Each structure stands twice: as structure tokens, then as C-alpha cells.
Structure 1
């Protein structure tokens, strides 16, 4: 099948299949999987124009609601955390869109940027794993029964608190906001919504349980993806005849349909899977992809 906007030629079943497999695993950690689908589109499908970023965000819009709905149904949505993430990432994603078009329209430098983002995420995941090993004596929340729900959410200008599985957790509200602002900028450039960066940060740096923050990270990614797609679509006429900026809606929707099923299944099975297996696999994929981009760029 030929996709006119992106110029991609591939079987119609390939995007949904890839998206289902990717999102099934990544959604367990509060990540949509867009950070892996973008390298797939650039390297395997040959989609390298700036339009690949909003196309990736279309995938988020279509696929994320099923995962969010599952977390809501199970009472595992930290709403104060969700709103702080959204307020921070919204202005950041617009700024990131301008950065993408002004300074990173060429696929070469953009791949270096992508590699740096992937290196950070992969390194953060392995750091989280190493940190978890050193704290092996602490009670683990992974694999708790379905009765574990988020309760007693409180937020002030200084801190955000909630209770999960009988334990109280807290983090700094300003830190979450400014982190989300920075993540929004990166997400706007990369076309990932930012969840793949902010979710590992919540777990590794803030010490929050992955089973409780996954829904908030996905919800924040969904809202910022909507804004990001609207931004790219609105400014597309300004670049008419120069480069493709508007998303490839059909290709993004096909990825999204696969992600819709994958995220629901991943969110449903999350509590039954040990995060260490998912993080190791994702970390290896991230570092391998980043190394390929960097070596390819500097060897040319």
C-alpha cells in the first residue's frame, strides 16, 4: 500500500502489527511506545521528513485512550500528577514544534537528536534497575493484586502526595512542572508526547510506583499529542512546497489501531508482569537504536 503524504510503501497490516507489539510492553510502564515507532518509521519505512513527528503523535491520539480507560477503571489514576504534567508539557510541545522545523528539518542532525533522547531514556531505565537492586530489601509494589488503588490525592504549590497499596508517596510540585515543560519541548521535537521520558523519571528519581503513575504519564502524553498534532497541522500551509509538515493521518491511524489493542492488553496485564523484564528489553532496544544512529551519522 502507498501512503501519499509520507511516500511510504508497506503492507497495510505491518503498521498495526508493529504498534501492537511495541505498545503492549511499553504501556505497562506508562509509555505509549511512540519513541520506538519513530525510529521504525525513519529507518525501516524511510519516512524522514518533519511530518514523521506529527504522524507519531497521531498514533498516540488513537492508541492511548484504551490504556487510560483501563487505568481509570482500576482506580490507578493520580489526577493531581496528571494535571501538573499537562500544564507543563502543553507550552513545551509547541516550542518543540518550532525547534523541529527551524533547526532540525534535515534527517541527519535529527537522527543525532533522536539518538541522544534514546540514550537518555535507556540509561535512565538501567539506572533505575541498578537502584532497585541496591534497595532490594524495600517492599516491592510490582505484582500487587487488583485491589491496589490510588487514594488520598493531595496537592499544594510545594508538594503532591497520594497513597497507593497502603504506602504514602510524595514529590515536589515545581519539580514535576518544570520537568514536564522540558519534556514537552523534547516531545514536540521528537513527536513522542514526552511520556517515555517523564515516566522513567517519576519511577527512578521521584521514587513513585510504576503501577500508580503509568496512567498519569499516558494521560499527559495524550493531551500533549492532541496539541502537537493541531500545531503541526495549523502551520503546514506556511511550508507548502518546501517540506512535508502535516501528519500522514492514514499511516498514523493504522499505527494507532494496533496501539489501541496493545495498550489495553498491556494495561490489563501490567500488575502480573515484573517490570525488570520489560525495562531490560526496552533498554537494550533503546541503546542499540541510539548507537546505530550515532555510528551511522559520524561514519558518513
Structure 2
């Protein structure tokens, strides 16, 4: 099947099958899988135009709602965190999209940027795993919000109380929103590991909020890339709708199944799997950049 915007030809079943496999595992950690789908598109499919970021965000828009619905049904959505992610990352995503088109159209430079983002997230999660010791918890339980005001968000989960400063969450989400806008993942995918490693929140309770935030900001990202495309006629900026929808359909099934299975998987297993993929992908991109010269 030919995808004209992406400028690639691939069998129709490859995108949905790949997205299903990626989303099944990453959705358990509150990550859509777009951060892994991007290197697959660039390195395997050869899709290196700036529009790959918009296509990634289209995948988020189609795939994420099924996972969020499952987390909400099981009572594991922290809605105050969700709105904080949305309000913080949304303006950053717009700025990040402009930076991607104006300053990072070169795929080699973009890969180096992506490697730095992935490596930093991975390092934070390694530290979290190290501090976590041998804890082998599971996600059975319901979230109960206790406080939500301009100073803090507080909730209980599995009999333990958690809290985080609202302004700290907002500033963090604003910064990662810029990074997420450049990388084409909406921002929420970066926020999830930060919630776990910096604020000490349980991965079972923040996964749904991070996914929902990613979905909302990705809608804005897709609209923005589509709107600015006419201003860059020499570049492929708008999403490849056919490819994005195929990725999204596979991701929809993977995220639903991942959200359904998450509560049965120990948190350390979820985090360790994400760390392995994050650091290995970052190392691959750094080696590619160094190998081609500065």
C-alpha cells in the first residue's frame, strides 16, 4: 500500500500490527507508545519528513480513548491530574510544533534530539527502580480524590495517601509539552514517568491521566500541523491520515488490552520494560548520529 504523504510503501497490515504490539506494553505505564512508533517510522519505514510528528499525534487521537475508557471504568482515573496535564502541556505543544518545523526538519538532528529525550526519561526511571527496592505491588484498587485546589492534588489509592503540588505539576507539564510537541507525542507520554519518579505517584493511578492528557494535546497538535501546512509548501508537514488511522486502529486494541491487564502486572515489571526500550532506542540514535559525523 502506498502512503503518498509519508512517501513510503508498506503492506497494509504492518502499521496496525506494530502499533498493537507497542501499545499493549506501553499503555500499562501511561504511555501511548508514540515515542516508540516514531523511531519505527523513521528507521524501519523510512518516513523522515516533519509530518511524521503529526502522524504520530494522529495515532494518539485514535488509539488512546479505548485505554482511558478502561481505566475510568475500573476507577483508576485521577481527574485533577488529567486537567493539570492538559492545561500545562497544551500551550507547550503548540510551541514545540513550531520548533519542529522551523529548526528540526533534518532527520539526523531530530534523531539526536529524540535520543536525548528518551535517555533522560530512562535515567529518571532507573533511579526510581533503584529506590523502589524489591517491591512487587499490583494495581488492584480504586482512586479516591481527597483534595484539589490551587496548592495541591491529593488522593488515596490502596489505602495510601498521595499528594503533589499543583504549580509544580503545571510547570513540569509546560516544559515537557514543548518537548512533546517537537517529538510528536503530545507531552503526556513524558509526564507519566515524571509523575512516578519525581512526585512518587503510583503508576497504576497516573497511567489513565497521562494518557488522557496526551490524547487532548494530540488533538490540538494534529489541528495545528494541518493548519500550518500551507505555510510550508516545500515540506511535508500535515499528517498522513491513512497511515495514522491504520496505526491508530492497532493502537486502540493494544491500549484497551493493556489497560485491562495493567492491574495484574507488578509496577517494577512495567517500569523495567519501559526503561529497557527507552535506553536501547536512545543508544541506537546516538550511535547513528555519531556514525554519520557531526
Task: Say yes or no: TM over 0.5.
Answer: yes
Residue 265 of structure 1 is aligned with which of 257, 272, 282?
A: 257
Conservation of the 8 A alpha-carbon contact between 1:80 and 1:153: no
After the TM superposition, which residues 164-203 of structure 1 pair with which residues of structure 2 at under 5 Å, given as runs? 164-203=157-196
Q: Partner residue of 1:286?
A: 278
- Please state if 1:68 is matched with 2:68: yes
Q: Partner residue of 2:138?
A: 143
After the TM superposition, which residues 65-144 of structure 1 pair with which residues of structure 2 at under 5 Å, given as runs? 65-133=65-133, 136=134, 142-144=137-139
Gapped runs of 5+ residues in structure 1?
none
- Please state if 1:2 is matched with 2:2: yes
- Please state if 1:248 is matched with 2:240: yes
Go from structure 1 to structure 2 and tell me whether the alpha carbon gap of 1:281 and 1:166 turns closer, same or farther (over 3 Å shift).
Answer: closer
Conservation of the 8 A alpha-carbon contact between 2:226 and 2:238: yes
Q: What's the CA shift string for 1:256-276, capped at 9, x where partnerless?
A: 100000000000010111232
After the TM superposition, which residues 199-238 of structure 1 pair with which residues of structure 2 at under 5 Å, given as runs? 199-238=192-231
Q: What's the CA shift string for 1:126-170, capped at 9, x where partnerless?
A: 11111111xx57xx6x3243xx11113421211111111121110
Q: What's the CA shift string for 1:173-207, capped at 9, x where partnerless?
A: 10100000011101110001122211111111101
Give the Cα–Cα distance (whole angstroms) in 2 for the partners of residues 295 and 88 of structure 1.
Answer: 33
> What SS does the aligned partner of 1:247 have?
coil
> What SS does the aligned partner of 1:244 have?
coil
- Please state if 1:296 is matched with 2:264: no
Report the Cα offset of residue 280 of structure 1: 2.2
User: Which consecutive aligned stretches of 4+ in structure 1 deviate over 3 angstroms post-superposition?
Assistant: none
Conservation of the 8 A alpha-carbon contact between 2:189 and 2:211: no
Gapped runs of 5+ residues in structure 2?
none
Give the Cα–Cα distance (whole angstroms) in 2 for the partners of residues 216 and 144 of structure 1.
Answer: 15
Give the TM-score normalised by the residue count of structure 1.
0.95
Go from structure 1 to structure 2 and tell me whether the alpha carbon gap of 1:60 and 1:144 turns closer, same or farther (over 3 Å shift).
Answer: closer
Conservation of the 8 A alpha-carbon contact between 2:150 and 2:167: yes
RMSD, matched Cα = 1.2
Give the Cα–Cα distance (whole angstroms) in 1 for the partners of residues 271 and 80 of structure 2.
Answer: 26
Go from structure 1 to structure 2 and tell me whether the alpha carbon gap of 1:151 and 1:281 turns closer, same or farther (over 3 Å shift).
Answer: closer
Give the Cα–Cα distance (whole angstroms) in 2 for the partners of residues 197 and 175 of structure 1.
Answer: 15
Give the Cα–Cα distance (whole angstroms) in 1 for the partners of residues 56 and 181 of structure 2.
Answer: 11
Give the Cα–Cα distance (whole angstroms) in 2 for the partners of residues 87 and 251 of structure 1.
Answer: 29
